[in-house]
């Protein structure tokens, strides 16, 4: 298993996903900052909405808490960007965004039902592959592999097709 294969699996599984009316990175940052409704709406208008692959790595690196404030559509759109960021940068970046995707996936199975049902089977398989890579290959290299392991075992291992 190598990171490039997992990245390609993620890109294929999430290829046509758009933000739709979900909460994006910039709006999440506004929510986190407790800004006025007017500023939140402006952030929403400026958000990345059509192609998650165009979200700059700097935006992901600077907004490590954004996934915490997203609705299911926002997670479906932004999670692949965070996973790819983590796979590319786990051994070189000091950004907390490397672990952000892991933490977003670390929920109790009962909590997953409503949130994660938005993902297709191939997207769930890509998420499982991401977590497995973070456990086995990234290991202790500045990655919270313990939390990745918990998330994988609690909810995502059943989608592992490798």
Q: CB neighbours (10 Å) of residue 28?
A: 24
pLDDT at 101 over 70: yes
CB under 8 Å to 90, separation ≥6 — which residues?
98, 134, 138, 141, 142, 143
Cβ 95 vs Cβ 89: under 8 Å? yes
Q: What is the reported pTM?
A: 0.92
Domain that holds residue 147: 3-159
**What local confidence, expressed as pLDDT, does residue 141 receive?**
66
Q: Where are the alpha helices (DSSP H) in 63-144?
A: 72-89, 97-104, 109-116, 121-133
pLDDT at residue 116, rounded to an integer: 76
**Total structural domains in the chain?**
1
pLDDT digits (tens, 9 = 90+) for 54-88: 999 999 999 999 999 999 999 999 999 999 999 99
Signed CA dihedral, 64, 68, 71, 77: sign only? positive
pLDDT band at 98 (very low <50, low <70, confident <90, very high): confident
């Amino acid at each position: 298993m190598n990171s490039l294969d997992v990245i390609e699996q993620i890109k294929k599984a999430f290829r046509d996903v758009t933000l739709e009316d979900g909460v994006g990175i910039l709006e999440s940052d506004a929510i986190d900052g407790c800004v006025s409704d007017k500023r939140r709406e402006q952030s929403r208008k400026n958000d990345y909405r059509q192609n998650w692959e165009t979200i700059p790595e700097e935006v992901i690196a600077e907004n490590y808490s954004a996934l915490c404030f997203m609705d299911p559509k926002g997670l479906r759109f932004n999670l692949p960007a965070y996973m790819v960021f983590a796979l590319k940068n786990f051994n070189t970046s000091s950004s907390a965004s490397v672990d952000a995707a892991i933490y977003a996936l670390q929920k109790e199975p009962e909590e997953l039902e409503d949130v994660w049902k938005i993902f297709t089977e191939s997207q769930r398989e890509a998420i499982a592959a991401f977590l497995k890579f973070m456990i086995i290959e990234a290991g202790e290299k500045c990655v919270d592999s313990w939390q990745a392991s918990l998330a994988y075992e609690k909810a995502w291992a059943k989608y592992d097709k490798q």
